Amino acid sequence: MWLYADIASLGDIPRYHGRTAGERVALMNARRRETFRELDHASSRIANLFIDAGLGRGEVVGFYGKNSIEYFEAMFGASKAGCALLPLNWRLSALELKAVIEDAGPPLILVDREFVPLLERVRETCGVRFGIVEFDSTSDGDSPLKSRMSASSDVDPRVAVRPEDTALLLYTSGTTGQPKGVELTHGGINFMRLCEHLEPAFRWKDDDVMMFVMPNFHLVGTGLSLQGLYNGIPLTILGGLDIPALLATLERDKPTICCLVPTAIQMIIDHPDAAKTDLSALRLVMYAGSPITAPLLKRAMSTMRCDFMQFYGATETCGAVTLLRPDQHDLEDERKLKSCGTPVPLVEVRILSAAGDELPDGEIGEFAVRSPAMFKGYLNKPTQTDSVLSGGWYRTGDAGYRDSDGMLYLVDRTKDMIISGGENVYSTEVEQALSKHPAVSQVAVIGLPDERWGERVTAIVVPTEERSPSAEELIAHCREMIAAYKAPKQIIFAASLPMTPTGKILKTALRKQFGELAATTV
């Protein structure tokens, strides 16, 4: 049934390919390459490092750094030690990072050198005690992690791992602004690989190379990378989205598959060096975060000359729920391009009313998903877990409909989530930050259409009578409290906000009122 019966946990990926294709390249970047055998040995050294540090089975290990070879060594090492890996969002503010660490409770965090000062500042006031092991992803020189790995055994500890054990702990913000740790199990991740194996649109070739550029703390980055490694496909790794470095990687390593958000696709084809970059190796660009516009897709297809495939999913679903496959990209039917496609094998989607009844085609309701790859729950939050999981179905909070051809369409987000440049921004988080400014009386945050970012985080602010703050002042205030990408790109001042009789702000009215406003980025 599975492509590789010997792979049942994350740690089995380097074990299997290290044994069967040891000299095949697994990971590479601009400086070095690591084979599957080397990855197998390195991950065993890290596993023994964790065990020697006193970490027990089921504990959480933090990783605080951008995309790197060390990230995968740590991930597979954590699995071999029976631990779960927590990739920390390196874009968070100190206060946000502290909240995540206090919720997850990792006794040990591997941290890239550039983030050490911030993490040490967090540790001073954090309610959880944790150790730090520093590494340097930008250099092949010595580091504390490298020294400790050298002193550690490369004999696989073979700690028993059960399918229901947590493999990855990925944090996603909730509508209340509180972080939620999504527990993804070894069994769930393995079932996601089965769903993909049964999907005809996923076909791997011996000469494939996957480019890893999406952030590791997002499932779209880590999940797709694991899909490639599971299939024995080498990864070429970029620390983050840097267009000149990305174009250089396309030239150097000839990746055949990559995943990007539409904003990044536009940045690539708009870059002056794109026209002289050899993109001929690319055969598939997967995109997520938002549908792509027909004009952008036409430009991208003519520039990159490859297939495009959209996918929709959630951290909680452990991967793709639906795919808009290459053969479903009909440039003559722009309406279909707005679809998120149809479900992958073994995954079911229902459209439910507020009362939980299934709706007919064409009627808008909430997407509910049933999948063998579902998450185990939110760490330390049984009430919130029970509110979205019922009878094996996950209530996504996304609103949409199914057409008569079975195609699914997202039309709104019941959780008021804004997708800006492929990043999820919850309006409540931004509102909470702005409301703490002494000059803000009322605030509502919405997403407005933006040609570059997909949606622009926009705050409608009612100032206090005593003060008249500037937009720059409010944005700077936000950036002190939340990640910069969550801060408003636009501030609109208003005398009042539309309200329901019960005192709830009518965001639908605000979106309608300001939706056609000319784009003005502060």
- Residue pLDDT, tens place only, 409-461: 987 665 567 888 878 787 878 988 898 899 998 899 999 988 888 889 999 99
The answer to whether residues 399 and 364 touch, using CB atoms and an 8 Å cutoff, is: yes
Angle between helices 219-230 and 12-20 (to 10 degrees): 30
pLDDT at 500 over 70: no
In this prediction, residues 505-516 reach a mean pLDDT of 81
What pLDDT, on the 0 to 100 scale, is given for residue 175? Answer: 38
Q: Identify which has the larger pLDDT, 331 or 116.
A: 116
Residue 412: the pLDDT is 60
Q: 479 with 485: CB under 8 angstroms?
A: no
pLDDT of residue 522: 44
CA 390 – CA 368 distance, rounded (Å): 10
Helix (H) or strand (E) holding 92: none
pTM: 0.85
The pLDDT confidence band at residue 255, using thresholds 50, 70 and 90, is: very high
90 vs 101: CA distance, rounded Å: 13
Find the mean pLDDT for residues 231-241.
Answer: 96
When the pLDDT of each residue in the chain is averaged and rounded to a whole number, the result is: 91
pLDDT for residue 97: 95
Gap between the Cα atoms of 99 and 88, Å rounded: 11
Query: Does position 390 have pLDDT exceeding 70, yes or no?
Result: yes
Between CA 421 and CA 290 the distance in angstroms is 9
Residue pLDDT, tens place only, 200-226: 999 999 999 999 999 999 998 999 999
Q: What mean pLDDT is predicted for residues 283-303?
A: 84
pLDDT at residue number 289: 66
pLDDT number for residue 40: 98
Q: Can you give the pLDDT at residue 176?
A: 43
Tens digits of residue pLDDT in 27-85: 999 999 999 999 999 999 999 999 999 999 999 999 999 999 999 999 999 999 999 99
Domains of the chain and any CATH numbers: 12-321 (3.40.50.12780), 346-413 (2.30.38.10), 417-514 (3.30.300.30)
Alpha carbon distances (Å) from 186 to 230, 303, 375: 13, 39, 10
User: What distance in Å separates the CA atoms of residue 237 and residue 257, rounded to the nearest whole number?
Assistant: 12
Query: pLDDT class for 516, splitting at 50, 70, 90?
Result: low
86-to-64, 99, 166, 498 alpha-carbon distances in Å: 8, 14, 10, 41
The residue-averaged pLDDT of 113-135 equals 97
Listed in sequence order, the DSSP H helices in 81-173 are 94-104, 116-125, 144-150
Backbone angles phi, psi at 181, to 5 degrees: -90, 110
pLDDT-wise least confident of 218-222, 491-495, 517-521: 517-521
Cα(97)–Cα(99) distance, integer angstroms: 5
Query: Residue 502: what pLDDT?
Result: 41
Give the pLDDT score at 501: 42
- Give residue 351's pLDDT band: very low, low, confident or very high (50, 70, 90): very high
